[in-house]
Amino acid sequence: MTMMLSLASTRTIFWTITSAVAAALLVHTIVKEYTPPEFHGYISSKMKWLSNHLSSQLCVVIQEFEGLAINKVFNTAEVYLGNKISPSIKRIKVAKSEKEKAFRISMDRNEELVDIFGGKNSSGSWCIREEKSLVNLLTLKPEYYYGDPRGVWNHIVFDHPSTFDTLAIDASLKEEIMADLKRKVGKAWKRGYLLYGPPGTGKSSLIAAMANFLNFDIYDLELANINSNSEFRTLLVATSNHSIIAIEDIDRTLDFQDRFKEDQPSRRHNSRVNLSWLLNFIDGLWSSCGDERIFVFTTNNKEKLDPALLRPGRMDKHIQLGYCNFFSFKKLVSNYHNEEDHPLFEEVKSLIEKVQVTPAEVAEQLLRSEDVKVALQGLIEVPQT
């Protein structure tokens, strides 16, 4: 992306320079079409030298990546220039997700736009981004080249309905989590969460609620697909600020065994990420390379995790998500049937106190009928079969 900022003081100078640049571009096109390829680099460098000496404009080139890290200026410029598209632009990118009200327009790669920026609308890009921002879910590309950050992540709009209002967990726990997140917003920080509990207790839904609450993108990181420490580091550095890095079922995808032994050289070459790699990133020098990032680990078996991973600074908050209680049940009924009370509630309450049932199992029964009475009756009968 190239943005031209005008520094000319008069219209006469501006049009003179514009004509000179246009002529130079014409010559460039002719040279490209009618001269041997081996001369193109030499001629291009001379034309750049000539353009720099004739033009009073400052050319600002904004790359998408600065080394391995994402260039935050690029995203801001992309939003700003998306509302400045002119006839000089030959290629633009147009996108629209289901949740967006309008099209998103941005410049394509290697396009240039002349813009006179007076500094009066310095907050405009932020406002535009806030209006258009959507949470994205990013996953590793099937065959990625980890040496190029642009070739690492695929993304889709994360249209998940889960919010802290709809979560079927205790109100006090929700308030505790939201308060912890609010304290950190707008500061340079990283935070580690461990969500643990049986399958179906709402760990993935809580991650979605956190993302929707903060308006953070989610990076779904599959450790089993990573082959080396350097590859792992490259993938994490290629994540953006203001994001959640989710590592689910960590007890099944992380190699905890004998991480400090030196007599097993083959272990350094196997396909599973070992604990040392993860600890080096989230607790070492590389952990300071991003702002406002949350690591969320999930597991069904907390006792299987290495104690080194559980300490503060790595997993700062441990959140247990358990079986459905009466409060969770009522929240689920309200979500799926918009009912706050029903004569069958007391019967369900007595059963929930005796039988372990997950929120996912309750939700499955509630979805089986649009009639709340039929759905509740089906829920009552399940534990007795």
Q: What is the pLDDT, as a whole number, of residue 282?
A: 73
The whole-angstrom separation of Cα 365 and Cα 224 is 34
The tens place of each residue's pLDDT in the chain, 385 residues long, gives 544 444 444 455 555 555 655 665 666 666 666 667 666 666 667 666 666 666 666 677 777 766 656 676 776 776 666 666 666 677 777 777 666 666 766 667 666 666 665 554 444 444 544 444 678 899 887 766 555 656 678 888 888 889 999 999 998 999 999 999 887 665 657 788 999 999 999 999 999 999 999 999 999 988 877 777 777 777 887 888 889 999 998 888 776 554 444 434 434 344 456 677 777 777 765 555 666 788 999 999 998 888 888 888 788 899 999 999 999 999 999 999 999 999 999 999 999 888 899 999 999 999 999 999 999 999 888 755 4
Contact assessment for residue 212 and residue 160, using Cβ atoms and an 8 Å cutoff:
yes
Q: Are residues 305 and 267 in the same domain?
A: yes
Contact assessment for residue 1 and residue 74, using Cβ atoms and an 8 Å cutoff:
yes
Q: What is the pLDDT, as a whole number, of residue 39?
A: 65
CA angle 236, 65, 240 (to 5 degrees): 40
Q: Are residues 58 and 21 in the same domain?
A: yes
Q: Are residues 87 and 188 in the same domain?
A: no
The whole-angstrom separation of Cα 49 and Cα 67 is 26
Q: Are residues 160 and 204 in the same domain?
A: yes
Contact assessment for residue 266 and residue 242, using Cβ atoms and an 8 Å cutoff:
no
- Number of CB atoms found within 10 A of residue 81's CB: 22
Domain containing 356 equals 326-384
Q: Are residues 336 and 215 in the same domain?
A: no
The whole-angstrom separation of Cα 54 and Cα 244 is 48
C-alpha distances in angstroms, 291 versus 69, 73, 307?
A: 12, 15, 26
Q: Are residues 66 and 168 in the same domain?
A: no
Q: What is the pLDDT, as a whole number, of residue 255?
A: 60
Cβ neighbours of residue 315 closer than 8 Å, sequence gap 6 or more: 192, 193, 194, 295, 297, 309
The whole-angstrom separation of Cα 363 and Cα 375 is 10
Q: Are residues 176 and 288 in the same domain?
A: yes
Among the candidates 295, 320, 345, a domain finishes at: 320
Helix pair 359-366, 372-381: axis angle to 10 deg: 130
CATH code where residue 186 lies: 3.40.50.300
Q: Are residues 128 and 151 in the same domain?
A: no
Contact assessment for residue 242 and residue 216, using Cβ atoms and an 8 Å cutoff:
yes
Cβ neighbours of residue 356 closer than 8 Å, sequence gap 6 or more: 323
The total domain count for the chain is: 3
Among the candidates 132, 153, 174, a domain finishes at: 132
Contact assessment for residue 153 and residue 138, using Cβ atoms and an 8 Å cutoff:
yes
- Token look-up 């609010």 returns 182
Q: Are residues 120 and 92 in the same domain?
A: yes
Closest by CA position to 137, among listed 72, 202, 206, 220: 220
Q: Are residues 316 and 330 in the same domain?
A: no
Q: Are residues 66 and 208 in the same domain?
A: no
Among the candidates 97, 132, 167, a domain finishes at: 132
Q: Which two tokens stand for residue 293?
A: 């990032």
Q: Are residues 184 and 226 in the same domain?
A: yes
